[in-house]
Structure 1
Amino acid sequence: MRFLPTLLAASLMLATGAASAADTSTVIPAAAVQTATQLRDKAMADDTGYKIVASLTTEVGPRIAGGPADQRGRDWAIAKFKELGFDKVYTEPVTYPLWERRSEHGAIVAPFPQPLMLTALGYSAGTPKGGLTAEVVKFDSLDALKKASADAVKGKIVYIGFRMTRQKDGHDYGMGSAIRTQGPVIASKLGAAGYLLRSAGTDEHSRTPHTGVTGFTDPKQAIPAAALSNPDADQLERILAYGKPVSVKLDLDVGFNGSYTGANVIGEITGKKYPDQVVAIGGHLDSWDPGTGAIDDGAGVAIAMAAGKLIRDLPQRPDRTIRVIAFANEEMGLWGGRAYADKHAPDTVKHQLGTESDFGSGRVWRMSASVKPGAIGAIEQMAKVLAPIGVAYDAKRPGGGGSDLSQMHAKGMAALSLTQDGTYYFDYHHNANDTLDKIDPRDMAQNVAVYAAFSYMAAQAQGDFGSAPGAFSKDGAAE
């Protein structure tokens, strides 16, 4: 066994070499920075992104997952990738529970009868034929509901009235979405007959309720759940303030109907030097059904497609592959993102850098990153290119990868967060006003410029950004 010291020495050399490679600084060559700057400037005057989202919302319209337009949306994406000249276009199957919305009505029955404008929430149960009438019990917060006794809730319709306010980074949505997802589940466990909330939205004077998914995972545990428009929530609260019992009737024809297999649609611009290494960008192709899914998330799909198209039009292909992913069914549980991460987890190290656009089309104003220490300099190079179009680099914040690609980031993919101006985003999010007229073509062009420039620089970088299984397990990034 005299060869053991030799093997040990060799092993140490390999380990040291691997560590040195991991710590090697990543740099973006000057020529790539110059090309990215040119891409940025070209994109700022280009309307490709706007034309793509106009095409999607006009030719397909609303795209609820598993609904009548789901296949049409996928067919549109495949055709659009090919029209834009992507080298490779393919799909990857995604299976998920099928939830359907057929009709929805609500009304205050007593003490002052009047109709309510509401919308059923994803994974809500339907009401019995003829509807459900029950007394409303109001809670001031999600924490208050968590502390409630079953006796206070059983057989009643629970209501929480948290009001979101406009914020540039949209941070109130953290609580608004928690009340929408967690609240119905808690109410069900306490024996509630139904659940209502003030819409997770910031429009103040519009009777357009905002839908969204609940946290129900077992249809047997689901109860009827719906969101009220802000004016209707105000009305309900005024009536509750009289101190008299308030009864509401819900009539929701919605519910689970088996399962459905859709697909992520993927287009690639093949890298000439490292074709198996990818820069991953994208958006989600599905949308909720009241509007046409323009800002959520037709814009994200269009931004990524247009960025890829601009890179494809360069005289030479990038060194690494640009992979654009139009994810399936983000809205009801990140199904496309989770399927992608599960399939591509073995290829985590081949994912150079990634992020998804899923916060509308307002201008990107902040960039943050989760990369290895040796790649921070490359991120700073990107920041210098993006600064002239209004993007500030926040070195203290991690990058999360966006909604669907957060799942790949959790596997260890290096990731950016490119924060858009969401001041008015939640006026239209998940409601009937999510339509093309809410998109400013100039803002859209700035988004495309950001995505094209960063993607190209990542593809041309000398070195990697630290993607490896479990590399960012302590990240704690929140989108």
Structure 2
Amino acid sequence: MRIFITSLLLLVSPTIILANDQLIPVSEKTKKTAALLRDSALKNNSAYEILSSLTTEVGARHPGTPGEKNGIDWGVRTFKKLGFDKVWTEDVQMNGWVRVSETAEVMAPYYQKLVISALGRSSSTPEGGLKGDIVEFETYADLDKAAQGSLQGKIAFISNRMERKIDGAGYGPANIARTKGYMAAAKAGASALLIRSIGTDDHRNPHTGGTNIFKGVTSIPVAALSNPDADQLERLFALGHTPKVKLNIKTKDLGPIVTKNVIGEITGREKPNEIVVIGGHLDSWDLGTGAVDDGAGVAITMAAANFIKNTVKERPRRTIRVILWGAEELGLIGARAYAKARQEDGTLKDHIIGSESDFGAGPVYGLKSSEHVAPKAIHVIDTMAGLMGPLGVTRRSGGTMGGPDMIPLHALGIPSVGLMQNGEDYFDLHHTPDDTLDKVDPKMMRQNMAVWTVFAYIAAEWPGTFK
């Protein structure tokens, strides 16, 4: 609320002096150009076309697979084809992991197959699989209270459900089962862990995702059940049964591998060393083709920067840098490497503001700014929101980190904005085989591109500083 009130004061009193810095208004010329870009972008299908190219010519892009290498090559090739001024890659070191196969069956009281997906970094079951009685825990917190050794020879099952929210707010409370459940199950002596998929759909498509591995904790197989199969286990418990399940999971630890961040720039005309960061993550899980997570973000931001380059008469003052981060799904690995490299090469200070698109292709409805945006620059964010208004976007209070891959830069004090998308159906598709191009609406891609064009252009053209 403090930020919102401040923004109102700035709008009505443009001559306020803060910290000896006079407010620098957004010029009428800049606003007019941004509005023209916005309206023209609504007629431009380039974001959808880029996404179609990525998902058709490459498909899934899981680190350590041929698809990932093809995705990196595609990123470099597409940036160059679009005519970006600078294109390069940066190596990112990581430990690779891939799934090989996975099956699950209820052996008793009634035989039936279950549909599962191993979680990222899960270990394999012993040769031939493992069997065990299922012990249900309604939440991660309940499992975390289990006594050491109490689950010896058993399979733990966390049955908590994710709540559907427009902003994805139900994800964090549910996702702890995926990220930390492994540790709690292993400490209690469980042979394996099953979790209800962290998703909001009722399809028989399990949602994969990475799990955290902790030093000193025994490695056990971990998998997500499709939501209908999780319901099936719960019904068996309700009938008074203790289901016995057989799991056969094979995964492969690839050891140290190298992935890449792929970067393209539109060089600024006056301040080429000052950088506005936009982008998405290039990697995806292996089950679908990574259309909504996060091919859409890749395509929207590439298209927005390219549209600015091709439409305005003169380049914006600052450089617009589009980053296709690598290995986001296994823990923001590319983003952390990028932030560390900027600290080491001394260019962190040149990063003026940034944001990532990583919430699918739903329409943008809100604009937030982080606490690192200086009070003297809040009016600029308000101006952006005003120009986005015809697109259905309103200014929102509350903070943001600018998207998952912006978190390491946010932690180092870089200002950011959050372009809030309607994600009511995002977690129906997230990390599933259903993450494919047919789920994306070209009209919504145009709306996203228009919003991102307004943000990137004004951020790069406004002569003041956001810090």
Question: Shorter-chain TM-score category?
Answer: over 0.9
Q: Tell me the equivalent position of 2:170.
A: 172
Determine the C-alpha separation between the residues in 2 that align with 1:452 and 1:302. 12
Query: Does the CA-based 8 Å contact 1:100-1:254 persist in structure 2?
Result: yes
Counterpart in the other structure of 1:380: 382
Instruction: Report if aligned partners of 2:264, 2:321 keep a CA contact under 8 Å in 1.
Output: yes
Q: Please, which moves more after superposition, 344-353 or 83-92? A: 344-353
Amino acid of the structure 1 residue aligned with 2:239 = Y
2:55, 2:353 → 1: CA distance?
29
Q: CA deviation at 1:222?
A: 2.3
Which residue is 1:47 aligned to? 45
Contact 1:123 1:219 (8 Å CA) reproduced? no
How far apart are residue 149 of structure 1 and its match? 1.1
Q: Is the 8 A contact 1:219 1:256 kept in 2?
A: no
- Aligned match of 2:364: 364
Equivalence for 2:190: 192
In structure 2, the residue matched to 1:282 is: 279
Q: How does 1:296-445 map to 2 (within 5 A)?
A: 296-313=293-310, 314-345=312-343, 346-370=346-370, 371-394=373-396, 396-445=397-446
Residue 444 of structure 1 deviates from its aligned partner by: 0.5
**Deviations 1:28-70 (Å, cap 9, x if unpaired)?**
2221111111111111111000000000000000111111211
Matched with 2:97 is: 99
Distance 1:316 1:223 in 2: 57
Q: Which residue of 2 aligns with 1:139?
A: 137
Structure 2: 5+ residue runs without aligned partners? 1-16
1:231 maps to 2:233: no
Q: Give how far 1:430 is off.
A: 0.3
| Bigger mean CA offset, 219-228 vs 243-252 | 219-228
| Preserved contact between residue 140 and residue 162 of structure 1 (Cα < 8 Å) | yes
- In the TM superposition, residue 134 of structure 1 has moved relative to its aligned partner by 1.1
SS at match of 1:333: coil
Note the 1:110-259 alignment, pairs <5 A.
Answer: 110-204=108-202, 206-218=203-215, 221-259=218-256
CA distance in 1, matches of 2:309, 2:451: 16
The offset of 1:239, in angstroms, is: 1.1
What are the superposed Cα offsets for residues 358-396 of structure 1, whole Å, 9 maximum, x if unpaired? 0000000011002111111111111110111011111x2
Kept in 2, the 8 Å contact 1:121–1:225? The answer is yes
Give me the TM-score of the superposition, normalised by structure 1: 0.91
Partner of residue 259, structure 2: 262
Distance 1:441 1:208 in 2: 24
Tell me how far 1:191 sits from its aligned partner: 1.6
Give SS of 1:451's match: helix
1:459 partner amino acid: A
Which amino acid in 2 is paired with 1:267?
Answer: G
In the alignment, structure 1 residue 271 sits paired with structure 2 residue 273: no
The residue number in structure 2 matching 1:73 is 71
Q: Is the 8 A contact 1:199 1:229 kept in 2?
A: yes
State how far apart, in whole Å, the 2-side matches of 1:147 and 1:76 are. 47
Partner AA of 2:458 in structure 1: M
Does the residue aligned with 1:379 lie in a helix, a strand or coil? helix
219-228 or 260-269: bigger deviation: 219-228
Which letter does structure 2 place at the counterpart of 1:169? D
Give, in whole Å, the separation in 2 of the partners of 1:49 and 1:307.
8
Instruction: Say whether the 8 Å CA contact 2:76–2:262 is kept in structure 1.
Output: yes
Cα deviation for residue 147 of structure 1 reads 1.5
Is the Cα–Cα contact under 8 Å of residues 125 and 219 in structure 1 kept in the other structure? no
Query: Considering only aligned residues, what root-mean-square deviation do their CA atoms show, in Å?
Result: 1.5
Task: Tell me the TM-score normalised to structure 2 length.
Answer: 0.93
SS at match of 2:455: helix
In 1: Cα distance, 2:154 partner to 2:366 partner: 44
| Distance in structure 1 (CA, Å) of the matches to 2:461 and 2:333 | 31
Determine if contact 2:64/2:254 at 8 Å carries over to the other structure.
no
Displacement of 1:21 in angstroms is 7.0
- Check whether the contact 2:18–2:375 (CA below 8 A) recurs between aligned residues: no
Preserved CA contact (<8 Å) 1:136 1:159 = yes
Write the deviation string for residues 213-267 of structure 1: whole angstroms up to 9, x where unpaired: 1011559732100001111111111112233332111100113221110100000
Unaligned runs of 5+ in 1: 1-18, 467-479
Change (3 A) 1:130 1:320: same
User: SS of the residue aligned with 2:88?
Assistant: strand
